[in-house]
Amino acid sequence: MAELAKNAAEMSKVHPEDTASPLKEAWRAFCKNRLALAGLGIVIFFIIIAILAPVIAPYSFKEQELTKRLLAPSSEHWFGTDDFGRDIFSRIVYGARISLWVGFFAVLGSAVLGTILGVIAGYYGRWLDTVISRTFDIMLAFPSILLAIAVVAILGPSLQNALIAIAIINIPNFGRLVRSKVLSVKQEEYIMAARAVGMKDSRILIHHILPNSMTPIIVQSTLAIATAIIEAAALGFLGLGAQAPSPEWGKMLADSKQYLVQAPWTLFFPGLAIMLTVLGFNLMGDGLRDVLDPKMKQ
């Protein structure tokens, strides 16, 4: 009996690592992915730059000095100057604020609206599902940038309207993703039990459906921010997004394209900023998908 009691006591011992929360386990798995950590580092780097832009930037982003136009990178102007003599480094630093602002809020809007529509379509089904799903199919039939151009053409070219357009074209991506997840979750036994005891639909959706559908939304949001930044840059390049003298990276590329041979640095550094930011969000999003998606776990 003493031996049995001893064995039972040993088996009952719980190690801290065995009781780690899912969040801690996910973080540990994320930290093992070096590419994901590199992406997180890049994202944090640009966020810090955006927050501390007035401290980091040596000049005002709209300060013009025509006597110093198209100067090559130097100790005075690290990234050179543009055709108006404005410091490119300062404009890129302030441009980080615009790109991240558009990326975060456009995705936030599309995620909220897409989630609501996806939940309604997946949970209630019938004619609501048909109408919402066919609307998503129609929107996805158009190239995203073409649809964004159409929306901005209707609303008028500006940074705010570009943000609205980007949010609209990303709604179907979130809506279809959430709909498929809700269709799967609502078949679980605990959902059927909740219905059997008379729990209201609103309570089921808020306390059971949505919490169990957040994983794909988080992953999709991270990847969608990268796409939103590219789309904002594309609209800015076409003259439909941010307007002068805004230091938006796509607008900077558009203003400098005629100086590709004469002053290549005017295009190189804004393009590099776009590439690094998008790369950071993509690497971080892939890492989150590997950690949070059960299908990706080995």
Q: Give the chain's domains with CATH numbers.
A: 51-61+72-296 (1.10.3720.10)
Is residue 157 reached through a cis peptide bond, with omega within 30 degrees of 0 on the bond before it? Answer: no
Query: How far are the Cα atoms of 152, 153, 171, 232 from residue 157, in angstroms, in the given order?
Result: 6, 7, 21, 12
pLDDT at 281 over 90: yes
pLDDT reading at 220 higher than 70: yes
Tell me how far apart the alpha carbons of residues 180 and 136 are, in angstroms, rounded to a whole number: 13
pLDDT over 90 percentage in the chain: 43
Torsions phi, psi for 237 (to 5 deg): -65, -35
pTM value is 0.84
Q: Helix (H, G, I), strand (E, B), or coil: what is residue 81?
A: strand
Q: Which of 17-26, 113-122, 214-223, 287-296 has the lowest mean pLDDT?
A: 17-26
Give the tens place of pLDDT for each residue, 42-90. Answer: 999 999 999 999 999 998 888 888 888 888 999 888 999 988 889 999 9
Higher pLDDT, 223 or 5: 223
Tally of CB atoms within 10 A around 148: 27
What's the confidence (pLDDT) of residue 135?
92
